[in-house]
Structure 1
Amino acid sequence: MSENGSRQQYSFAWIMLLALLTALGPLSIDMYLPALPQMADDFGVSTQMMANTLPAYFFGLAMGQLIYGPISDRIGRKKPLYVGLSLYAIASVLCVFASSEWNLIVLRVVQALGGCVGVVIARAAIRDRLDIQGSAQAFSSMMIVMGIAPIAAPTIGAWILYFSNWRAVFVCLAFIGCISLFCVHFFFKETLQPSRRLKLSFQQVLTLYASILKDQSFRFPMLAGCLTGGALFSYISSASPVMMDMYGLNQQQFAYAFGLNAMGIIVLSSINKRLVSRVSTINRLKLGGVIQFSGALTVFIAGLFGHPAIEIVMIGLFLTVSGLGFTGPNAMALAMSGQGARAGTASAIMGSGQFAVGLLVGVLLNFLVWNSLLNMGIMMLMLTTGGLFAIAKVAQYFKQA
């Protein structure tokens, strides 16, 4: 497989804009994590029950991307952004007035249906402009920038809680949605020209989905990205019960611990970007898989001891989360490398698959009967093990290609 220089240079400002659109996801997920115990008290339920608003958001992300992908391939990248970001801002405002946990769960689904447009369009726009090596660099740059989101989000959420309550978090998210809409209108330039757009009927969309999924150059990297990324969703869904309920961290301490793990993504994404010209995309993907598996194994073993030192747990979590700096951009670059004008639909499938795994993880965690740390370790170990097998299939396919 050839990895030539990118066809077109990209600016940092362009990556910043795409990162902002993609960061709506982690901001919407991570900013209110410190508030889960407070929300649970407000609604009279457990923290774990309140954490079900996370898989609800994942459900909306998974379903929404399947809609925006083919639409963006048909009408371009910019128009869907207007619709999705407007829906996101409106739903965020409605979350402020949620009267029960089930009311909030439904509104979180709607919020996700709007917010997921950013991640679909960002990936498709990168594929519109760049080849596989340029894409890997761009995805790494974007992960470095958007890595600020999971660091800043819990801290911002914790400070909002210091001065107000959890409802103010959603006011902040609505404001961010409006800022994103403003930036799209004035600074986002269409990347899919009319001559390259696909004229798709509903039946043709289904056929296109099937065609992309049959493409092994897409399917194997997609599975690798979904499974290794699933370890992050396991961490997100369990972070509050483990760190706040089990280890007694307060809101600010939780935000700092969460930010430390997110910092690992930035560090490894930066290293990944520097290695682009020296280490193949496949080998960087393998390295990330091994790092994540090592971290998941550490968390699992720690969970077997009931209540181990938090330092051991944090080391395992840091490895599991930071390894995404290698697996995320390289799996994405490989999956999107052969998709061309159907990049929007391919991006939607991959994004939907990632959040479908996140939804499944959130549901399964409710049925595991052990302590929250061991439950998280079990899910992480299963996902990273599956990720390593998928990465082996990726390496085998591209070696033969």
Structure 2
Amino acid sequence: MSEKNAGQQYSTGWIMLLALLTSLGPLSIDMYLPALPQMAQDFNVSTQQIANTLPAYFLGLAIGQLIYGPISDRIGRKKPLYFGMALYAFASLLCVLAPDYWSLIAARILQALGGCVGVVMARAAIRDRLDVQSSAQAFASMMIVMGIAPILAPTIGAIILQFFNWQAVFIALFIIGLMCLLCIHFFFKETLEAERRLNLTFKQVFILYAAILKDKSFRFPMMAGCFTGAALFCYISSAPAVLMDDYQLSQQQFAFAFGFNALGIIVLASLNKRLVNKVSVINRLKIGGLIQLTGAIIIVISGLFAHAPFILIMLGLSMTVSGIGFTGPNAMALAMSKQGARAGTASAIMGSMQFACGLLGGILLNFLVWSHLLNMGILMLAFTLFGFVAILKVTQQLKLQNI
């Protein structure tokens, strides 16, 4: 990025728009969580089985981002947004009409293939316009705004379920998809000028993927962000079974507990933003990693008891989830800092790998044989531990660059 753009400021409205596009993912994941037991009854499967619609969504997110990234580097950011949002709205209606369990799985994959375009374009647009320090601040600002989504989403879902059945949740997502499409048309301005676009062939896309993954300035921060972020997906996949089945929380109580943990992300993301000029990016990343790792250890210890105190579980979950307010924006800023015109492809790789970890965690939950809580804790601990090792590699790399 040129010196002219270094330190460039961004408007609140711009961040709000990018946060709206990015928050489509949390809304699609979290809004229907209170409905999982009801859906399990309708489809005659267990709650944990119906929760497999979550890793199915992660699969669509992982695949879709790999497609949108290089396409956006070739044709710009706005055209893929049009296509993705239209596909998302259509797939949301398919979820409403799903006649059986496997049809719902397929519709969720298609829904994710459309909805993931927002997160890819938002990250790429920030990198198009801002330097590493400004982008870290922008990512933190965006995380604060989009952090509202996982707080409101389960609550909105629970309210809808008081009056309608679970299909109404997906009708609401369809309407939100249409709203995003209108916002893109009227308010999103192209951030990748024609002269900066990459003329990529199909073969060159794979060469570009390989080149980006070989870049240590991208690879290690990407791994740090993916593994620490995967702990959140383990939580999302397990929360309904742990909180509603095991601890007998109602739909409204579940929404409150889920929102409380999501609130932690906003608090730490806000603190992260305030510390931009006081604490280095890498130190903030390490602090977040330690918070998440500590929380995961508490969850594992809780899972070793037959019925651990609920407050202890909430403490561990809060730390593991809220730590992402530090690890997420700082890992993203470091990973994207040197990607330039290939930011769309780099953003796609990072997002795809993150959701691939979430998919892996969702699959492994079906094979672990202990309690729902201990299964979740083991996976959280594994992911956060791998993430912290990656953070240490990033620290080592930055020290070598300063020599």
Report TM bin, short chain. Answer: over 0.9
Q: Contact 2:7–2:133 at 8 Å: present in 1 too?
A: no
Query: Which amino acid is 1:88 matched to?
Result: Y
Q: 3-state SS of the aligned residue for 1:345?
A: helix
Alignment correspondent of 2:365: 365
The reply to whether residue 272 of structure 1 matches residue 306 of structure 2 is: no
The reply to whether residue 378 of structure 1 matches residue 372 of structure 2 is: no
1:107-162 CA distances to partner (integer Å, 9 max, x unpaired)? 00000000000000000000000000000000000000000000000000000000
Alignment correspondent of 2:355: 355
| Aligned mates of 1:281, 1:114 — CA distance in 2 | 32
Tell me how large the CA RMSD over aligned residues is. 1.0
Identity of aligned residues (%): 72
Alignment correspondent of 2:220: 220
1:251-306 CA distances to partner (integer Å, 9 max, x unpaired)? 00000000000000000000000000000000000000000000000000000012
Counterpart mapping for 1:174-189 below 5 A: 174-189=174-189
Q: Contact 1:5–1:134 at 8 Å: present in 2 too?
A: no
Instruction: Report the TM-score when normalising by structure 1.
Output: 0.99
Q: Contact 1:298–1:316 at 8 Å: present in 2 too?
A: yes
| Aligned mates of 2:353, 2:62 — CA distance in 1 | 7
Counterpart mapping for 1:11-50 below 5 A: 11-50=11-50
1:194-241 CA distances to partner (integer Å, 9 max, x unpaired)? 000000000000000000000000000000000000100000000000
Alignment correspondent of 1:282: 282
| Aligned mates of 1:354, 1:391 — CA distance in 2 | 15
Q: 3-state SS of the aligned residue for 2:244?
A: helix
Alignment correspondent of 2:297: 297
Alignment correspondent of 1:199: 199
Alignment correspondent of 2:388: 388
Unaligned runs of 5+ in 2: none
| Aligned mates of 1:380, 1:392 — CA distance in 2 | 18
Q: 3-state SS of the aligned residue for 2:10?
A: coil
1:159-199 CA distances to partner (integer Å, 9 max, x unpaired)? 00001010000000000000000000000000000000000
1:399: how far off? 1.3
Alignment correspondent of 1:65: 65
Q: Contact 2:228–2:292 at 8 Å: present in 1 too?
A: yes
1:27-70 CA distances to partner (integer Å, 9 max, x unpaired)? 00000000000000011110000000000000000000000000
Alignment correspondent of 1:55: 55
Q: Which moved more, 1:5-14 or 1:233-242?
A: 5-14
Q: Contact 1:7–1:129 at 8 Å: present in 2 too?
A: no
Q: 3-state SS of the aligned residue for 1:396?
A: helix
| Aligned mates of 1:101, 1:225 — CA distance in 2 | 32
Q: 3-state SS of the aligned residue for 1:140?
A: helix
Unaligned runs of 5+ in 1: none
1:6: how far off? 4.2
Q: Contact 1:91–1:107 at 8 Å: present in 2 too?
A: yes
Alignment correspondent of 2:190: 190
Q: Contact 2:5–2:130 at 8 Å: present in 1 too?
A: no
Q: Contact 1:5–1:133 at 8 Å: present in 2 too?
A: no
| Aligned mates of 1:159, 1:30 — CA distance in 2 | 13
| Aligned mates of 2:218, 2:333 — CA distance in 1 | 10
1:104: how far off? 0.2
| Aligned mates of 1:31, 1:6 — CA distance in 2 | 38
1:4: how far off? 11
Query: Which amino acid is 2:185 matched to?
Result: H
Q: Contact 1:85–1:180 at 8 Å: present in 2 too?
A: yes
Q: Contact 1:4–1:133 at 8 Å: present in 2 too?
A: no
Aligned length: 399
Alignment correspondent of 1:115: 115
Counterpart mapping for 1:196-345 below 5 A: 196-345=196-345
| Aligned mates of 2:100, 2:351 — CA distance in 1 | 29
Cα gap change, 1:43 to 1:11, in 2 (>3 Å)? same
